[in-house]
Amino acid sequence: MTDVMTDRSLQRLRVAIVDDEELARSVAREFLSKMADVEVVAECANGFEAVKAVSDLSPDLLLLDVQMPKLDGFEVLELVGRDVAVVFVTAYDQYALRAFEVHAVDYLLKPFSAERLAAALGRARERLDRGERGAARDVEQAQRLAAAARPRSHAGRILVRDGPRVHVLPAEKIDYVQAQDDYVSFRCEGKEYLKEQTLAQVEASLDPAKFVRIHRSFVINVDRLARVELDERDNHIAILADGRRLPVSRTGHARLISLL
């Protein structure tokens, strides 16, 4: 097993091309077709297709455009960054620093040459040889950086990957977020969505004027708060609009008061 894994340079590099422009995909496809030991396993016209391709085909490498409809390149990286190496391909040089922070293998500026693409693939092979499959060495780092690097101010939405599918949760539709071991669960329109993240990261990525941490394990959307009550042991309890009761800690109560 390890013998097979150690020398990737002998293996075919399985690449997925992600770009919303057909012509941009075709130039990458043309260059890759002339390279030995490279196989284009998928061409994706948007981020959702890219996430699905990573789940279904587990390519080694994504050639990933940044500006795309619905999900941009950094959001795709946030969702699949642990499973696949990423080379960004874009006309915009201003994302280079962010790409570096989220451990992208390389950053290609359009228009690019076949040689430049080959060099990027070489770097990807090197990294895969070292056994670093994903773009990020640890997921938390990737998620934190992806969240921090997100251009949308105060994440107007939360992206949750569910295998090949991506759920887009608009922040205003989230009722509350609950910490559950290594995961957080988002309560949104009557459903629960699990995401591998810490509650602190979620709290940092949401609008502090709308979301407040009322407890070690809970961040709530203040728009959903109906009232705060005291229980028989003088603990504060938050009652949400749907009647759900959530515990409020002493510091959480102070935060709630200062926000309201």
Partner 1 sequence: MHPILSRGERLAAYLAVWLVIGILLATVLTGQGLEWPEALALLLPLCLVYSFVCLSAWYVCRATPLRTSGLSRVLATSGLAALVSGALWLGLARAWIAALSELSVFATRADVFLDQAPFLFASGVLLFLLALAVHHALIAFETVTEAERRQLELEVLAREAELRALRAQVDPHFLYNSLNSISALTKSDPDGARRMCILLGEFLRETLRVSGRARIPLSEELALAERFLGIEQVRFGARLRIEQHVDAAASLCRVPPLVLQPLVENAITHGIAGLLEGGVIHLDITRLNGRLAVALENPRDVDSPAPTGRGVGLDSVRRRLTTMFGSTATMRTEIETGRFRVELDLPCSVDD
Q: Do residues 18 and 65 make contact, with C-beta atoms less than 8 angstroms apart?
A: yes
Closest approach, Cβ 119 to partner 1, in A, equals: 17
CB 158 within 8 A of CB 147: no
Q: How far is the CB of 39 from partner 1 (least distance, A)?
A: 20
Q: With beta carbons less than 8 A apart as the criterion, state whether 179 and 186 touch.
A: no
CB of 91 to partner 1, least distance (A): 4
Closest distance to partner 1 from the beta carbon of 159 (Å)? 11
CB nearer to partner 1: pick between 158 and 238: 158
Cβ nearer to partner 1, comparing 206 with 240: 206
By beta-carbon proximity to partner 1, the closer residue of 26 and 180 is 26
Helix axes 22-33, 114-129, angle to 10 degrees: 70
How are the residues of the chain apportioned to helix, strand and coil, as percentages rounded to the nearest 5?
A: 40, 30, 30
Residues that bind partner 1 (CB under 8 A): 20-24, 26-27, 30, 45-46, 67, 69-70, 91-92, 109-112, 152-153, 156-157, 168, 170
**Distance set, CA 28 to CA 124, 182, 199, 248 (Å):** 16, 38, 39, 54
Nearer to partner 1, 45 or 259 (CB): 45
Is the distance from CB of 54 to CB of 62 less than 8 angstroms? yes
